[in-house]
């Protein structure tokens, strides 16, 4: 009878040890999933910002070209014209 009790106690201890290991693994995996979701959200926000910047940059570039074309060189033939940098 004592032998069966000791055997069952040993099995129970093994199960508890495995349960502790698995619980720690589950907690680690949940943390990784949370990190992944956070990074994915940051990526989506950065992509939205890049799209906005590209839209603004494209509009600003067209505006600056239009403005540069409308600028007249006050002294033709002397030095660098205002549109030479374009």
C-alpha span between 26 and 20 (Å, rounded) = 10
pLDDT at 66 over 60: no
Model pTM?
0.45
**What are the tens digits of pLDDT across the range 20-43?**
999 999 999 999 988 889 999 999
Q: Can you give the pLDDT at residue 63?
A: 55
- Exposure string (b/e) for 51-82, b if CB count within 10 Å is 16 or more? eeeeeeeeeeeeeeeeeeeeeeeeeeeeeebe
pLDDT at 79 over 60: no
C-alpha span between 48 and 52 (Å, rounded) = 6
Q: Can you give the pLDDT at residue 72?
A: 57
Q: Can you give the pLDDT at residue 1?
A: 79
Task: Give the ranges where the chain is alpha helix by DSSP (H).
Answer: 2-70
Q: Can you give the pLDDT at residue 2?
A: 80
């Amino acid at each position: 009878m004592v032998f069966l009790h000791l055997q069952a106690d040993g099995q129970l201890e093994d199960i508890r040890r495995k349960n502790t290991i698995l619980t720690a693994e589950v907690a680690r995996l949940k943390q990784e999933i949370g990190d992944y979701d956070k990074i994915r959200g940051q990526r989506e926000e950065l992509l939205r910002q890049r799209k906005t910047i590209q839209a603004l940059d494209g509009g600003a570039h067209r505006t600056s070209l239009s403005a540069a074309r409308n600028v007249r060189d006050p002294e033709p033939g002397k030095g660098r014209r205002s549109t030479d940098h374009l």
